[in-house]
Amino acid sequence: MRQRRREVKHSHALSSSIFFFFFMIFSLSSTSSSSVEFTDKGDNIEVLALLEIKSSLVDPHGVLMNWDGTLFDPCSWNMIACSPDGSVVSIGAASQNLSGTLAPSIGNLTNLQTVVLQKNSITGHIPHEIGKLMKLKTLDLSTNNFTGQIPFTLSHATNLRYLDLSYNNLSGPVPRSLAIAKIFNVMGNPQICPTGTEKDCNGTQPKQMSTTLNSSQNESSDRGPNNWKLAIAFGFLSCVCLFDHWFSSLVEKKT
């Protein structure tokens, strides 16, 4: 009878330990799967960045009307696409008659992979903060009225593969480091490359990009970090089974 109670008690403790461990693994996976960041006050950093971008642009047709700070999920906003974990990965607002400037806060959207703003009337400098976008793969700011130099910080975006800055009013040297982009175009900037034959025209003519962006075209979020959690879980379970076998053998010997 006493042995039976010991076994029941041991089995209950073992079940509780296993349940607690897998609960912790699940909780860790749930909290770490999202890469959305918040300020100390609890504000969504991506929402704040997008609202600053909206405020710096002139939007005559109201295409950004639902970029509303009271709507906490920017994934439901026009011209925005998100990854499965809820991070903003695309801004696609081509041919929307937008003007104004592009806010430096775009650099706070650190999960951005695609920015397509071609065929608008956006002015001012290309913000150097755009170089913070380490995941950026596609940047199309063509056919706008951007001025100033091409920011050298763009070379920090080492995943950049498509860069189209054609038909603006950019000046200054073309950073050679931008050769990292497989498709790169600066044609149509009168002070850099008015005809395409100038020495600084070191890019290639890109194909016309689709201006339609939707979440199904975005890459799934990297699931690699979860693999180690599964390995730990199976390793722990194996250890628990071995311990259970050893403990049972020990109890049998004592009885």
Cross-strand bridge partners of residue 82? 88
Domain ranges of the chain: 2-33+226-254, 45-216
More confident residue, 78 or 229: 78
Strands (E), 108-156: 114-116, 123-125, 138-140, 145-149
CATH homologous superfamily of 45-216 equals Ribonuclease Inhibitor (3.80.10.10)
Over residues 183-239, the pLDDT tens digits come to: 889 888 988 876 666 665 655 444 444 333 333 334 433 434 444 444 555 555 555
pTM: 0.67
pLDDT band at 14 (very low <50, low <70, confident <90, very high): very low
Token pair 């990854």: residue = 83
pLDDT at 176 over 70: yes
User: Which pLDDT score, from 0 to 100, does residue 51 have?
Assistant: 97
Task: Give residues with Cβ within 8 angstroms of 12, minimum separation 6.
Answer: none
The span from the CA of 101 to the CA of 169, in Å, is 14
Residue-wise burial string across 155-192, b where 16 or more C-beta atoms lie within 10 A, e elsewhere: bbbeebebbbbbbbebeeebeeebebbebbbbbbbeeb
Over residues 81-104, the pLDDT tens digits come to: 999 999 999 999 999 999 999 999
Over residues 44-74, the pLDDT tens digits come to: 899 999 999 999 999 999 999 999 988 778 9
Over residues 106-143, the pLDDT tens digits come to: 999 999 999 999 999 999 999 999 999 999 999 999 99
Cβ burial of 72 (10 Å; 0-12, 13-18, 19+) is exposed
The string of DSSP codes covering 172-197 is SPPPGGGGGSSEEE-TTBTTTBSSS-
